[in-house]
Amino acid sequence: MPSPYRAIFAAPGSTAFSVAGFIGRMPLSMMGIGIVTMISQVTGRYGLAGALSATLALSAAALGPRISRLVDRHGQRAVLRPATLISLTAAAGLLLCVKFGAPDWTLFVFTAFVGTVPSLGAMTRARWAALYHGDAQRLHTAYSWESIVDEICFIFGPIISIGLSTTWFPEAGPLLAGAFLAAGVFWLTSQRATEPVPHPRETHSGGSALRSPGLQVLALAFVATGAVFGSVDVVTVAFAEEQGHKSAASLVLAVYALGSCLAGLVFGLLRVKGDPAVRWLVGVGAMAVSMIPLLLAGNLPLLAVALFVAGLSIAPTMVTTMALVEAHVPRTKLTEGMTWTGTGLAIGVALGSSAAGWVVDASGAESGYVVPVLSGALAVAVALLGHRRLRRPAPTREGQLDQVDDAAGAEHQGGGQHVA
């Protein structure tokens, strides 16, 4: 392992919570596609499958920040275990309803409660932030590592989920996703030494973390970014089907994630300089521009190359986003703040998937790539309009942490020349 990564794992407990977070994050890429595969295998109704997948995404988007807000107040162990039990119970109910042919409305009810699944990515990043608060370079490397973990999940998760549901039995993909979630959450929450210190209710008088102007810009830009991801997935599957190789879609999308994974690995090794807000704007612009070649790809090999190049801008932009969240959100609300970016992505994925499906049905798969191009342009527009908010000082910290956090914020901004 290269030395910057070896350095961050020198801290006691860091390896264990990162591995637990990786296991618990696998359902992020497995559950939605697993539900789609399961429903399509059992009923043949892609419309119902897509609607249930969108229900899961929107439910997680609505409930995720609230769960994370409770985590900031009461701690990870106290909140994540009950939330996970609710999600697992709902998932079990969904699988039983599918197995025994229950009415459609029961599927939507259980799927909505599956959305109580906690954001394990935000939880592990919050542990890194607590561990290396004030050490900008190590935080940069830690956030880069977590982006690599995200992409590994998205490379292998869909392949595992689809493979199990199509070759074993339809419910196998979501079932394994639930097992990963249970193992990851309960292992993570058993590690008390690295758990961030919770902040009681009285420190949250300022309301939601989303009141931060900088976080508003990041979350809104991530809605457009999520639309890019969601539409690329749908259109790529349709494009592969038109080419007569639908099964190759998962491999092509894995190449997309691989590009991001490799970029994140290299980015974590760099000592990046300059204003993070400017770097974030450049990253969003690069993601948008990288969508244009998809319109010109006439076959699957060219599409795979174009997606690999497009993936190179994802992880560095995500890493910079997490650093900006950490700079603009009070420490008492950091987990919630990080979750809001994931919420923006989830909403965008649902919107992008729906829009892409409509365009594909109307005009064909190649025309469908207009959707990620336009979504990327929208992300750039949001970034340009809100860029000035990201260059302002972080908000005043609440409660008794004011002086401590303001001093830490000054240190962070002084070291901001090296943070991503």
Domains and CATH numbers, the chain: 14-189+208-418 (1.20.1250.20)
CA distances 198 to 138, 331, 415, Å, are 23, 10, 26
Complete DSSP assignment for 224-284: HHHHHHHHHHHHHHHHHHHTT-GGGHHHHHHHHHHHHHHHHHHHHHS---S-HHHHHHHHH
What pLDDT does residue 405 have? 37
Contact by Cβ (8 Å): 352, 228: yes
What pLDDT does residue 201 have? 62
Q: At what angle do helices 276-289 and 370-390 cross, to 10 degrees?
A: 170
> What is the distance of C-alpha 118 from the center of its chain?
12
CA distances 265 to 147, 202, 307, Å, are 9, 40, 18
What pLDDT does residue 207 have? 65
What pLDDT does residue 419 have? 28
Q: How many residues does the chain have?
A: 420
What pLDDT does residue 309 have? 94
What pLDDT does residue 400 have? 34
Residue corresponding to tokens 């000592």: 271
- Smallest CA-to-CA distance from 331 within 191, 202, 209 is with 209
Query: Residue 372 is encoded by which pair of tokens?
Result: 């990620």
CB atoms inside a 10 Å sphere around CB 168:
12
CA-based torsion, 137, 140, 145, 148: positive or negative: negative
Q: CA 329 to CA 180: how far, in whole Å?
A: 30
> What is the distance of C-alpha 30 from the center of its chain?
13
Which residues, 6 or more positions from 103, have their beta carbon under 8 angstroms from its beta carbon?
none
- The four Cα atoms 410, 413, 417, 420 give a dihedral, to 10 degrees, of 130
Which residues, 6 or more positions from 266, have their beta carbon under 8 angstroms from its beta carbon?
none
Q: At what angle do helices 76-99 and 14-43 cross, to 10 degrees?
A: 20
What pLDDT does residue 42 have? 84
- Counting as low any pLDDT under 70, the low residues of the chain are 1-2, 46-47, 200-207, 210, 247, 391-420
Q: CA 22 to CA 34: how far, in whole Å?
A: 18
Q: CA 417 to CA 140: how far, in whole Å?
A: 11
Residue corresponding to tokens 């948008």: 288
Q: CA 143 to CA 137: how far, in whole Å?
A: 10
Which stretches does DSSP call E strand in 264-364? Answer: none
Q: CA 295 to CA 363: how far, in whole Å?
A: 13
Contact by Cβ (8 Å): 335, 196: yes
- Smallest CA-to-CA distance from 339 within 68, 136, 70 is with 68
Contact by Cβ (8 Å): 130, 6: no
Which amino acid is present at 343? T
